[in-house]
Structure 1
Amino acid sequence: MQSPIQHPHDEAPVQAIQIEHQPSSERLQELGVAQWSIWDKESSEFPWTYDESETCYFLEGEVIVIPEGGAPVPMGQGDLVTFSAGLSCTWKILQPVRKHYRFG
């Protein structure tokens, strides 16, 4: 019999990062992605904490985001990703990144 008690940290990292692989052009248009700001970053590694949620669409690059206490999450070109507010993680940029993004 499984214990009904769940530890909040067991599921948090998965829910904190949501990835939509290769969304349709209609979906991107619906969100207005083309009007969002653009962020570029060379290959690097750095810690980051999201004070508010961020949604981004990767135009280029390859990244592994490692949530604090969680498993690495690969993402990159063509992915639409939402990071939840409060997420603390480490970004490992393997290939230079160019992405549209918006907060909130």
Structure 2
Amino acid sequence: MSQIIIEHNPSEERLQELGVSEWPIWEKEVSKFTIDFDETETAYVLDGEILVTPTGGEAVRIVPGDLVIFQAGLDSHWEVVKPLRKHYHYD
């Protein structure tokens, strides 16, 4: 099973159901870094573009309107291609 799950352009109802508008916002400038997830994060991208490459896997492109689940245990390399703004929530 993939450690990165993307739901493209979820409905407004789905976002309300999850309470996305209440989640904090994280911003990051264009940069490259690693993130190792020790808990599952759900994120909703507002602006920007990122390429997330799981260790030993293929790069995944994430853009505005994507609802993304990063599974606990995911070790990944991030390349922020365009300045990022996203809501995020930990399970």
Q: Does the TM-score normalized on the shorter chain lie above 0.5?
A: yes
Distance in 2 between residues matched to 1:45 and 1:76, nearest whole Å: 16
Q: Offset of 1:48 from its aligned partner?
A: 0.7
Q: Which has the higher helix share?
A: 1
5+ residue gaps in structure 2? none
Aligned to 1:4: none
Paired position in structure 1 for 2:72? 85
Alpha-carbon separation, structure 2, partners of 1:48 and 1:63: 13
Report 1:2-81 matches (<5 A). 12=1, 15-81=2-68
1:94 to 2:66 alignment = no
Following the alignment from structure 1 to structure 2, what is the Cα–Cα distance between the partners of residues 67 and 79?
Answer: 18
The structure that is strand-richer by fraction is: 2
Cα deviation for residue 76 of structure 1 reads: 1.3
Count, aligned residues:
91
Could you tell me the TM-score, scaled by structure 1's length?
Answer: 0.86
How large is the Cα RMSD of the aligned pairs?
A: 0.7
Offset at residue 32 of structure 1 (A) = 0.2
Q: Tell me: higher relative CO, structure 1 or 2? Use CA pairs within 8 A at least 6 residues apart.
A: 2
* Structure 1: gaps of 5 or more residues: 1-11
TM-score (norm 2): 0.98
- Structure 1 vs Structure 2: percent identity of aligned residues? 53
Structure 1 stretches of 4+ moved >3 Å: none
* Higher Rg: 1
Give secondary structure in 2 for the equivalent of 1:27.
helix
> Could you report, residue by residue, the CA deviation over 1:35-90 in whole angstroms, capped at 9, with x for unpaired residues?
00100000000011001000000000100000000000001100000000010000
